[in-house]
Amino acid sequence: MEKNGKISSAVIRRLPKYYRYLGELKRMGVNKTSSRELSEMTGFSASQIRQDLNNFGGFGQQGFGYDVESLRFEIGKILGLDKKYKVIIVGAGNIGEAIANYTGFYEADYEVVSLFDKNPKLIGLSIRNAVIRDIDYIEEYLKAEKVDIAVICTPKSVCQQIAEKIVACGIKAIWNFAPKDLKMPEGVYVENVHLNESLFSLTYYYNKLKGE
Which residues define the annotated binding site for NAD(+)?
91-96
**Closest by Cα among 187, 200, 98, 108 to 151:** 98
Distance of CA 168 to the CA centre of its chain: 22
Q: How far apart are CA 138 and CA 147, in angstroms?
A: 11
Amino acid at 169: C
Q: How far apart are CA 11 and CA 26, in angstroms?
A: 22
Query: Which residues are known binding-site members?
Result: 91-96
The set of residues, in sequence order, having a beta carbon less than 8 Å from that of 184 and lying 6+ positions away, is 163, 164, 167, 174, 190
